[in-house]
Amino acid sequence: MSDTTVNLALPYIKPAQAQKHVTHNEALQRLDATVNLVIAARLAIPPAMPAEGECFWVLPGATDAWTGKAGRLAFRQDEAWIFIAPGTGWCAFDRAEERLKVFTGTDWGDIPLPATLQVSALGIGATPDATNRLAVSGAATLLTHTGGDHRLKINKATASDTASLLFQSGWQGRAEMGLAGDDRFAIKVSGDGAAWTTALTISPQGVVRTGQRPLVRASRAAGSLSPSAGMVTGFDDLHLAAGGFALGAALPSGHGRELLVPVDGTYLVTLNVEAQTSSGHETTLRLNGTSDVAAVKGGVGTQSSAVLASLLAGDVLTLLHAGSAQLLFGYAHTEISAHML
């Protein structure tokens, strides 16, 4: 029979042993040291004034009273050191890291999580709640592969529900992309977190729509007009308009209104002019009444001009006429179209 117990190496009291209390007290000391184990620090040099009952993990290169005791627990009891070699699987609270540790056979490491873990809420540097049951606070979040693909899945219950990514600034929504309220992929933006504008949608069939892309097809009211040289005409009808194009102030000539550009950008602009009679004429698309954007000239028939133009929000477009002609205005006749690239 061994002189000590298997796990904690507690000394047995032998039959007919003298001074049994010594052996008994030694066993109590080891129990007091190892039960509810707390490691105060990991050191190679014994502390100058250790507190009674403190325990230390002895590091390699130990000196003084700890010489040759690396890899053991050093307990301060009765103004002396007791050294115990821990067994694999022993648990201890690491006071320096404020974490529960497990002895792996060579060192003290974090207690591993089970292979399969299910929790009702998880916070990493943040506090989860009933809605945000996973909360992460940090400079970045990394999701990576294990040697192949990696897919992030966001699933919703029905078509009318939402599966999306929401981007916030100061806890107010600024952009959202995903399936929001139907099965079309959409990108939405907001300036205040309350009013939202859909910038792009893609149908399940792959049809892409950009409902807020600035574009326009505009003409004066349908009919014939023989503008005098130097007359400025505008527009009465927006046959197609999106992204903020609108009619502005009425022109002094009484023939239409200004066309207002909504957004800074590069635009493809097309000017069509249809002349029913002509002795030579020219029609110029004017920007802010001072510069030319596009121009067509010629005789009877339809002439067109397409240009790329840099336009700014608030710019005004009108038509300046020269020569003598009877022009046919209206949809698919004398008109302009523009869309931002």
* 187 and 240 together in one domain: no
Q: Indicate whether 81 pLDDT > 60.
A: yes
Asked if residue 144 belongs to a domain, the reply is: no
Helices (H) and strands (E) in the chain, counts: 1, 26
The mean pLDDT value for 58-82 works out to: 94
pLDDT at 331: 97
Residue 82 inside a domain? The answer is: yes
**How far, in Å, CA of 156 to CA of 171, rounded?**
23
Local structure of residue 210 (DSSP, 8 states): -
- Tokens found for residue 335: 């008109």
Indicate whether 261 and 327 sit together in one domain. Answer: yes
* Residues constituting the chain: 341
Q: Same domain for 263 and 205?
A: no
Q: Is 314 part of a structural domain of the chain? A: yes
Q: Is the pLDDT of residue 125 over 60?
A: yes
C-alpha span between 271 and 4 (Å, rounded): 103
Euclidean distance between CA atoms 307 and 292, whole angstroms: 11
| Overall number of domains in the chain | 3
At residue 226, the pLDDT reads 96
Mean pLDDT of 133-140: 96
- CATH code for the domain of 224: 2.60.120.40
Q: pLDDT at position 180, please?
A: 92
Residue 297 and residue 203 share a domain: no
User: Is residue 1 scored above 60 in pLDDT?
Assistant: no
For residues 22 and 20, what is the distance between their CA atoms, to the nearest angstrom? Answer: 5
Contact in structure between 47 and 59 (CB atoms under 8 Å): no
pLDDT tens-digit profile of 260-287? 999 999 999 999 999 999 999 999 999 9
Percent over 70 (pLDDT), the chain:
94
User: Which pair of structure tokens corresponds to residue 186?
Assistant: 């959409």
Domain end among 169, 190, 212: 212
> Environment class of residue 155 by beta-carbon count within 10 Å: exposed (0-12), middle (13-18) or buried (19+)?
exposed
Render the burial of 257-276: b for 16+ CB within 10 Å, e for the rest. bbbbbbbebebebbbbbbbe
φ, ψ of residue 66 to 5 degrees: the values are: -100, 5
Which tokens is 339 given? 């869309």
pLDDT above 70 for 6: no
Long-range contacts of 288-294 (CB under 8 A, 24+ apart): 288/315, 288/316, 289/232, 289/316, 289/318, 293/269, 293/317, 294/269, 294/270
In this predicted structure, the answer to whether residue 250 has a pLDDT above a threshold of 80 is yes
Identity of residue 283: T
User: Is residue 166 domain-shared with residue 270, that is, in the same domain?
Assistant: no
pLDDT at 22: 62
**Average confidence (pLDDT) over 309-335:** 97
Residues 290-305: tens digit of each pLDDT = 999 999 998 999 999 9
User: Which domain, by its residues, includes 166?
Assistant: 159-212
Mean pLDDT of the chain: 92
Confidence at residue 14, expressed as pLDDT on a 0 to 100 scale: 76
Residues 6+ apart with CB under 8 A from 93: 37, 38, 39, 99, 100, 101
Same domain as 220, residue 202:
no
In a domain, 327, yes or no: yes
Q: Specify the pairing of strand 215-219 against strand 162-169.
A: unpaired
Q: Are residues 304 and 236 in the same domain?
A: yes
Q: Is the model's pTM score more than 0.85?
A: no
| Residues 256 and 207 both lie in one domain | no
Do 219 and 278 lie in one domain? The reply is yes
**Distance from the Cα of residue 228 to its chain's centroid:** 58
